Structure formats: structure tokens, C-alpha cells
Structure 1
Amino acid sequence: MPEAEGEAVPAKPSKRKLIFIGGAVAAFLLLIGGLWITGILPRMLGERPPPKVTGPVYVKIPEIVANLDVPNGQDSYVKLEATIELADQKSAKIATADMPRIVDVFQTYLRAMRPGELRGASGTYRLREALIDRVEVATAPAVVKDILFQELIVQ
């Protein structure tokens, strides 16, 4: 159809203008992506990265040999190799720094025990619970989850 004299024909945008706009959008997206990858944009928006989930941390206790309390004067010893299970790395650092205190607490407690108190599953369970309580006190504010026995020999 022929165009009427008074009608306005929409002008086609020039290719140069389209290239300029496309380049500006691409540069903007690259800038935003770079800020996001470097972590600047999340900090600006107040977003925090998710906390790192860590499992338990284990700290080995040096081998302990202690004489037990025997009323008739005979010699009786206990040999203990154990590992402390702690909640996190911060607790592990505290326990490692307090290791001399932990060893002292273990030896003092073991020297007050009699050989019969350490025998059987119930004796091992009671020993574990008593040592956990003592380690929690010695290493506060560390979070002690468990004590794992590698070796427990009563002679």
C-alpha cells in the first residue's frame, strides 16, 4: 500500500546504535558477574556465605599407664590409649593446649580406681562417662562429645 503523505514512518534503529547498546549490556553483566565471583556484591547486599559444616574433630591422648588402688599392697596397673571426640576445630585447639591438664586428670582418676571397677562393659562405660565429665571441666568451654578407647588393659 502506498503511504499517505501525513503518516509518520517509524525509523529503524541504526546498527551502530544496536551494537553500542548490546556492548553496554554485556559490559554491565560482566561487571556484575565479576563483583559476584569476587564476593564484593554479596557483601554489599548483606548476604553471608553458608557456614562450613564440619564434622567432629579427634585429638589423641598420649598413652597413660597408672597404678591402681589395691588395698593389700599388690601391684596393679592400667594402660589406656584414648582419643577425645570434640565438636569443632576451636574445641580441638583448646583441648590440645590443655593436654597436660587432661593427662593429669586421667592419671589422678585412674589411680583412685580399683581393678574390679574397670572390668566388663559396665566398668568401661562408667570410666568413659567419668572421664568425659572431667575433660569437659578441664577444657571448658570446649565441647567434648565422647572419649574413644583404643586400648584399655588392666593388669
Structure 2
Amino acid sequence: MADSQSENAAGKGGKTGRGLIFGLILALAGGGAAFYSVYSGLILGHHGPAEAETGAKPSQMPEVAFVPVERIVLPLGSGDTGRYLHFAAQIEVPLAHEQETLHFLPRVTDVLNTYLRAVEPEDLSEKTALIRLRAQMLRRVQVVLGEGRARDLLITEFVIN
């Protein structure tokens, strides 16, 4: 009787093992098919590296100019702390507006200088401070230069010592 029970358990274990292996093979085949269909563009409309090899040209770069803003050095906090902010940036403008931007550069420097002087030293210690400051300064530059003239403000130096 004990022998028949052990034979039944061994028989069931063999069937379970084959079913598990069969399920694993089906899962791998399904995963491979899903990967291929997404990679080749059959699903989601994405085209793989074959599109890059066909010589598809990237879109043409816009004609822009980068106008450097004069370097600004400001004391942080009270003057006797010995800490200074060194700031430099470039304004990305459409090429057609480069000369106008150069003409208004003293106003841009003034608005940036005024804004940076109003920033508290504690505000500069936050992780997202540079992103927030950049957005605020870009908005002020856009107001000075007029809508559609300043595309971006690229911060090239932001050092606190």
C-alpha cells in the first residue's frame, strides 16, 4: 500500500514538472514575441534601429544666436560673511534678434542683478533652486526683450564661494 502511494506521488510530480516546464517555455516565447512586436514597430508605432540605418535625416536645427551676459558677482547675505555668488549666462535668441538683444544687454544685466540680489542665501541651498531661479530669470529676460525674442537662458556659471 505504501508502494502504491509513493508511485502515485511520483507520477503526479512528473506531470506537474512537465506542466511547469511547458508553462515556462510558453512564457518565454510570449515574452520574446511581445519584445519583437514592440521593437519592430508592430505595436506602439515605434520603429527600431532599422529606421536610423535607412538614412532618415534629423530635423533642421533652428538658426539661433547665443548672446553672453556679463559676469555678475554678488555678496551673499550680509557683506561681512565673505560669501559671493558668481553668475554668468547666455541668452538663446533667434538669429534675426541678435543685434537687438546686444543693444538691450545692459537692461538684461540690470534685471538679473536686481533679481539675484533679492534672493536669500537659504533659497540657494535647496536642490531645485537653480531650476527655479533659471525659470524666474528667463521670464524677466523675456519681459525686457519682448515676447518671442529670448528662447532660453543658459546658465554657464553659478558658483557660491
State whether TM-score is above 0.5: yes
Please tell me whether residue 77 in structure 1 is matched to residue 77 in structure 2: no
Percent of aligned positions that are identical: 28
- List runs of 5+ in structure 2 lacking aligned partners: 1-60
Preserved contact between residue 74 and residue 85 of structure 2 (Cα < 8 Å): yes
Higher relative helix content: 2
Q: Tell me what 1:64 maps to.
A: 72
Larger Rg: 1
CA shift for structure 1 position 146: 1.2
Provide closer, same or farther for how the CA distance between residues 75 and 89 of structure 1 changes in structure 2, counting only shifts above 3 A. same
Q: How does 1:97-116 map to 2 (within 5 A)?
A: 97-116=103-122
SS, match of residue 105 in structure 1: helix
CA shift for structure 1 position 67: 2.0
Relative contact order, higher structure (CA 8 A, sep 6+): 1
Preserved contact between residue 92 and residue 142 of structure 1 (Cα < 8 Å): no
State the one-letter code of the partner of 1:59: V
Q: Deviations over 1:32-84 (max 9, x none)?
A: xxxxxxxxxxxxxxxxxxxxx8422211111111123x269634321011111
Q: 1:138 & 1:92 partners in 2: Cα distance?
A: 14
State the one-letter code of the partner of 2:64: P
State the one-letter code of the partner of 1:63: R
